[in-house]
Amino acid sequence: MTVSIDAYAKKVYQQIHSTPEVGFEEHKTSRFIAEELKKMNYQVLENVGGTGVIGILDSGKAGPVFGLRADMDALAFEKNKIKYVFHACGHDAHSAIVLATAKKVSEQGIKQGKLYLVFQQAEEKLGANQMIDSGQLDELEELVGIHLRPIQECRLGQATPALYHGSSKRVDVQVKGLNAHGARPHLGINAVDASVMLTNAINCIKADPDVSHSIKVTRLNAGGDTFNTIPDKATLTMDIRAQTNEVMESILEKVKLAVEHSGKHLGGVGEITSINGSPAAEYDAHMVALAKNAIMEELGESLEAISTPGAEDFHFYTQRLGVKTAYIGLGADLSPGLHHPEMNFHQDALINGVNLLFNMTRKKLM
């Protein structure tokens, strides 16, 4: 009995949804996806960058090296002191969409180039970097991402060809002072005072007002169990957001200056211990046009580009590999919101996603 692509997508979704696994621990999920790809006669690379899976279909002829990317990881939650894992960001749906697209393509074959199916681990933990570090994606030229969108942004039957994520950075700082007795504070260097000076300096940073951005200290730890000791060290964490990479770089330069100079007159020393995060979206115009045409042909009309302050490690593929990309935001009547422990969506969105990705693949390779 032949299973329709719609039914297959929903079946795959239910399978992956029922076995949620956090980033870098997607063992059941990756094993299931790899076995399905093998049934479709794809060349399959397993344990890529950890738990990632890559499926490759080679026409044997020259042509584009075109890819579709899906994330696989779920999120950890806790309720009533019970910890559990749940797919609250739709990565189960994204994997189902790409795997069903793989099935549809395999049934018809490709006439030129190569198709890469990138099932990435640990999007929530920047797992794209490990996929890139593996070297298995070095020949990739073009890549399409897809993500379900909240109902407030995009309804079922709608889609945008360009979901513009902002850049997100976490900056960790250590502030060093000097211990002293609380009765003789002049003999010490209070790391709390220096941290407050740094926080005020951070709050004074200005960037281009035409570009959405925010800079804030979100964590400050200092002192020990003894209340009457001048603390000699403190740690701060900043959350920084910017809608463009250029504004993010300008903010980071000012943060470095603030860390170096704030609190110096107190004798405190600040040092950045780590900077981590994701770059902002930078899409290829041709790829976005390809996605827009697919949306218009499959759904009737296309939404304009949508900007979101949320971040995505998908953009490392552009930044580090120079891959030309587009990223579809797919309407699914998703509510109450992404990362909500009761997130749900309309499963008819799955076949819409398959049709969009297949349309793009057909025009590039078939």
**Is the Cβ–Cβ distance between 301 and 262 less than 8 Å?**
no
Query: What's the pTM?
Result: 0.94
**pLDDT above 60: residue 1:** no
**pLDDT above 80: residue 3:** no
Token digits of residue 114: 């190569």
Q: What is the mean pLDDT of residues 340-352?
A: 98
Where does the pLDDT of residue 224 fall: very low under 50, low under 70, confident under 90, or very high at 90 and above? confident
Annotated binding residues, as ranges?
89, 91, 124, 147, 339
Domain boundaries, the chain: 5-165+280-365, 167-276
DSSP state of 197: H
Map residue 181 onto helix, strand or coil: strand
State the chain's mean pLDDT as an integer. 97
Q: What is the pLDDT of residue 110?
A: 98
Output 225 or 39, whichever has higher pLDDT: 39
Annotated binding residues for Mn(2+), as ranges?
89, 91, 124, 147, 339
**Is the Cβ–Cβ distance between 98 and 50 less than 8 Å?**
no
Q: What is the pLDDT of residue 2?
A: 62
Where does the pLDDT of residue 265 fall: very low under 50, low under 70, confident under 90, or very high at 90 and above? confident
Q: What is the pLDDT of residue 157?
A: 98
**Is the Cβ–Cβ distance between 127 and 73 less than 8 Å?**
yes
Residue whose C-alpha is closest to residue 93's, from 309, 344, 366:
344
Q: What is the mean pLDDT of residues 310-336?
A: 98
Render pLDDT for 143-180 as a digit per residue (tens, 0 to 9): 999 999 999 999 999 999 999 999 999 999 999 999 99
Q: What is the mean pLDDT of residues 234-254?
A: 98
Q: What is the mean pLDDT of residues 239-255?
A: 98
- Span 5-165+280-365 CATH architecture: 3-Layer(aba) Sandwich (3.40)
Q: What is the pLDDT of residue 59?
A: 98
167-276 maps to CATH 2.60.110.10:
no
Q: What is the pLDDT of residue 285?
A: 98
**pLDDT above 70: residue 192:** yes
Q: What is the mean pLDDT of residues 257-286?
A: 95
182-195 CB burial, b ≥16 within 10 A, e <16:
eeeeeebbbbbbbb
Q: What is the mean pLDDT of residues 296-325?
A: 97
Please give the span between the terminal C-alpha atoms of the chain, in angstroms, as a whole number.
Answer: 26
